[in-house]
Structure 1
Amino acid sequence: MRTALQAGDRVVVTGAGGFLGRRLVERLRADGIDVLTAGRGDGFDLLADALPLDGVAHVFHLAAETGVPDAWNDPVRFHLVNTHGTVRVLDQCRRAGCSLTYVGAYIYGVPQTLPIDEQHRVDANNPYAFSKWMGEQACEWYAGLYAMDVVAIRLFNTYGPGQSDRFLIPKIVDQVLDPATPAIELMDLQPRRDYLYVDDAVEALIRSRAVDGYALYNVGSGQSHSVSEVVETVMAVSGVRKPVVDLQRQRPNEIPDVRADCAHIGQACGWSARVGLAEGIARMLEGRSP
């Protein structure tokens, strides 16, 4: 394995202004790493601009179009950014001699078995998942044909402070804490997901960087929780109780249950999730009052 990042090393983080990107940049800088950011907030265009790779040892590639509903409306845009944009990043890393971490997504569709390991068949059942899978395929191709060091992460449902309320857990937290909201309304209380606290995700990205060649890892908590269980956890942690309204509107191509098998990254990198759901939600609630 390559040596881990050391204080003074220089890295690039694409998508540095996003939820996960901000947390990763904070952690790297706290560790003394010289971080260059490349995101929309920096005026960086993934499809046109060159990465600042002078003296850079590694690139964490997080920049992407996100959101399954938006992907259904504009699949071409998602493919351009998430697939072609990733190819552009890979090729620049190839020319500069940089290693790369690619942050992918859940691409297994409805699981045939639980927990889900990396050998489970892929079923990219929405345009977002398809675009991220194609980006992952490009990573494996470049790593194999150009002998690059590339780590691809299949990241499960990450949550934490600062996440947009377009995502489930922040949406629930906002409804629970808002005194003007008399009841919590949610589309469907049944689906179960593997929720991973953001700091655990960051730790996985940093630890897995030292792997040589091509590696592919699931990164999740290894536990699944229903929407109903998440609501109950938020109310229990906050001390606020409200009625819960289940609108019973199932999303297209809904997946009933998701749970990651993360044994591979555990064995290779010594990583495992540390923060349980109740603790993660408690951290989200710090400094907020009902």
Structure 2
Amino acid sequence: MKPMRKKILVTGADGFIGSHLTEKLVRIGYEVRPFVYYNSFNSWGWLDTVPREIKDNLDVFSGDVRDPYGVKEAMKGCSHVLNLAALIAIPYSYHSPDTYVDTNIKGTLNVVQAARELGIQKVVHTSTSEVYGTAQYVPIDESHPLQGQSPYSATKIAADQLALSFYRSFETPVSIIRPFNTYGPRQSARAVIPTIIGQLANGQKSIQLGAISPTRDFNYVKDTVDGFISVLDHDQSLGEVINIGSNYEVSIGETAQMIANIMNVDLEIVTDEQRLRPEKSEVERLWADNQKAKKLLGWEPLYGGKEGFKRGLTETIAWFSNPQNVSSYKTDVYNI
């Protein structure tokens, strides 16, 4: 589908998924204004690493999603908003929950309120599979009950409902995209797949992990990005919550062994107590039903199933094996 000429504001564009999404939007012909977190270094996060031909086509706005005036200013002149700005680290949410309320809930309010006032054509708000908590049935469809098993997931449930309330109360054109566990190049070292790769790449035969029995539905970042663009482009997504997942369930332990096999190294897993979530907070099982995305959007994962997961892991390992890519990572410590 050839995109209409739109100017897209991408909040959280300096992060893992946001940077990949920003890059893809530019490549397929959109005008993009990346909203990056203001800092005194004038760092654009991962956007600092994208090719020059991408950077030259970016209208970067530095600000803070918690500031309603800055959010509204950033949105002026844009037709669509992709809202990815959020605090996402679950362990950090245990000891600093107030920051999650400010960023995830109030930040979302700032986005949808500005969109309402400015007449934005569409807001795609980013949810997370963590809002489902441990699966009560599988695969998990969009009607599954919501369970806040961490302060992070509780704030994302609130943010989702707030965004949908603007659609129902004021007809603000909002869609909710709910990606399952996205992985790939540029992911934070706090996430489990980079944690495994980083320790093995450093020559550690015995790697430290938290619980290895929980299962996840890992979604390669290219598939997640394509999901965002599909939600953006399809009017059928308005007022809807849409899962973006691979429909493949795998345990953390199996994932670690698959990575070790691809890297051709031996593996021993040691439980690190500080990496364990509180018992009732651990999400034991996630497995996405992606039929709604297929039906409404025509989206389906290119990296689905076991073989697709292996391909995604291979590409991810190749990226993390390049010393230049991981020069700023701290793979020898526990990252929360």
Q: Under TM normalisation by the shorter chain, which class is it?
A: over 0.9
Write the mapping of 1:101-140 to structure 2, written as runs, cut at 5 A: 101-106=124-129, 107-140=131-164
Kindly indicate whether the alpha-carbon contact (under 8 Å) linking 1:177 and 1:289 is maintained by their aligned counterparts in 2. no
DSSP-derived class of the 1:59 partner? strand
Q: Letter of the aligned partner of 2:268 in structure 1?
A: P
Mapped to 2, the partners of 1:141 and 1:188 lie a distance apart of 36
Partner of 1:267: 295
Kindly indicate whether the alpha-carbon contact (under 8 Å) linking 2:243 and 2:289 is maintained by their aligned counterparts in 1. yes
1:29 aligns with 2:8: no
DSSP-derived class of the 1:285 partner? helix
Q: CA deviation at 1:82?
A: 0.5
Q: CA deviation at 1:55?
A: 3.2
Partner of 1:218: 243
Mapped to 2, the partners of 1:15 and 1:35 lie a distance apart of 13
Partner of 1:64: 86
Higher helix share: 2
- TM-score, scaled to structure 1: 0.93
Kindly indicate whether the alpha-carbon contact (under 8 Å) linking 1:149 and 1:211 is maintained by their aligned counterparts in 2. no
User: Percent of aligned pairs with the same residue?
Assistant: 29
Kindly indicate whether the alpha-carbon contact (under 8 Å) linking 1:177 and 1:240 is maintained by their aligned counterparts in 2. no
How many positions carry a matched residue from both structures? Answer: 286
Kindly indicate whether the alpha-carbon contact (under 8 Å) linking 2:197 and 2:259 is maintained by their aligned counterparts in 1. yes
Partner of 1:53: 75
Mapped to 1, the partners of 2:6 and 2:12 lie a distance apart of 19
Partner of 2:12: 15
Q: CA deviation at 1:242?
A: 3.2
DSSP-derived class of the 2:17 partner? helix
Q: CA deviation at 1:134?
A: 0.8
- Once the two structures are superposed, residues 208-255 of structure 1 have per-residue CA deviations (whole angstroms, 9 ceiling, x without a partner) of 112253111111111111111111111111222233324577421212
Mapped to 2, the partners of 1:79 and 1:39 lie a distance apart of 19
Structure 1 spans left out of the alignment, 5+ residues = none
DSSP-derived class of the 1:203 partner? helix
2:180 alignment partner, one of 156, 168, 179: 156
Q: Letter of the aligned partner of 2:287 in structure 1?
A: R
Partner of 1:74: 96
Mapped to 2, the partners of 1:219 and 1:8 lie a distance apart of 25
User: CA separation of 1:176/1:95 partners in 2, compared to 1, >3 Å: closer, same or farther?
Assistant: same
Mapped to 2, the partners of 1:157 and 1:263 lie a distance apart of 17
Mapped to 1, the partners of 2:210 and 2:165 lie a distance apart of 39
Question: Over aligned residue pairs, what C-alpha RMSD do you find?
Answer: 1.8
1:277 alignment partner, one of 293, 297, 309: 309
Q: CA deviation at 1:280?
A: 0.7
| Bigger mean CA deviation after superposition, 163-172 or 209-218 | 209-218
Q: Which runs of 4+ in 1 moved over 3 A?
A: 246-250
Q: CA deviation at 1:54?
A: 3.4
Kindly indicate whether the alpha-carbon contact (under 8 Å) linking 1:100 and 1:150 is maintained by their aligned counterparts in 2. yes
Kindly indicate whether the alpha-carbon contact (under 8 Å) linking 1:153 and 1:216 is maintained by their aligned counterparts in 2. yes
Mapped to 2, the partners of 1:157 and 1:283 lie a distance apart of 16
Partner of 2:211: 188
Q: CA deviation at 1:9?
A: 1.9
Structure 2 spans left out of the alignment, 5+ residues = 38-43, 45-60, 324-336
- TM-score, scaled to structure 2: 0.81
